[in-house]
Amino acid sequence: MEKIVIEGGNRLNGTIQVGGAKNSAVALIPAAILADSPVTIEQLPDISDVRNLCELLKEIGGKVTFENNTMVIDPREMIPMPLPNGRVKKLRASYYLMGAMLGRFKKAVVGLPGGCNLGPRPIDQHIKGFEALGAKVTNEQGAIYLQADELRGARIYLDVVSVGATINIMLAAVLAKGRTIIENAAKEPEIIDVATLLSGMGAKIKGAGTDVIRIDGVESLHGCRHCIIPDRIEAGTYMILAAACGERVLIDNVIPPHVESLTAKLREMGVKVHTYDDQIEIVRDGTPLKKADIKTLVYPGFPTDLQPPLTVLLTQAHGASLVTETIFDHRFKYVDELRRMGAEIKVEGRSAIVEGPTRLQAAKVNATDLRAGAALVVAGAVANGITEITGVEHIDRGYSGLVDKLRGIGMKIWREKTETEEETTAVGR
Interface contacts to ligand UD1, rule CB under 6 A: 23, 26, 93, 121-126, 160, 162-165, 186, 303-305, 327-328, 429
Nearer to ligand UD1, 304 or 390 (CB): 304
Nearer to ligand UD1, 333 or 412 (CB): 333
Of the candidates 154, 152, 173, 8, the residue with the CA atom closest to the CA atom of residue 104: 173
Give the angle 252-231-26 at the CA atoms, nearest 5°: 150
**Least distance to ligand UD1 from the beta carbon of 404, Å?**
23
CA distances from 383 to 8, 285, 288, 330, 361 (A): 5, 19, 17, 25, 5
Q: Phi, psi at residue 250, to the nearest 5°? A: -105, 125
Residue nearest to ligand UD1 (CB): 164
Beta bridge partners of 40: 72, 225
Rounded Cα distance between 275 and 281, Å, is: 6
DSSP string across 332-397: TTTHHHHHHTT-EEEEETTEEEEEE----B--EEE--SHHHHHHHHHHHHHSBSEEEEE-HHHHHT
Contact (Cβ atoms closer than 8 angstroms) between residue 306 and residue 345: no
**Least distance to ligand UD1 from the beta carbon of 305, Å?**
5
**Least distance to ligand UD1 from the beta carbon of 50, Å?**
12
Rounded Cα distance between 335 and 361, Å, is: 14
Nearer to ligand UD1, 328 or 399 (CB): 328
**Least distance to ligand UD1 from the beta carbon of 385, Å?**
31
Nearer to ligand UD1, 271 or 367 (CB): 367
DSSP string across 278-319: SEEEEE--SPPPBP--EEB-STTSB-GGGHHHHHHHHTTSBE
**Least distance to ligand UD1 from the beta carbon of 43, Å?**
17
Rounded Cα distance between 76 and 98, Å, is: 18
Nearer to ligand UD1, 145 or 328 (CB): 328
Enzyme catalytic residues: 116
Three-class SS state of 419: coil
Nearer to ligand UD1, 93 or 108 (CB): 93
Secondary structure percentages of the chain, helix, strand, coil, to 5? 35, 30, 40
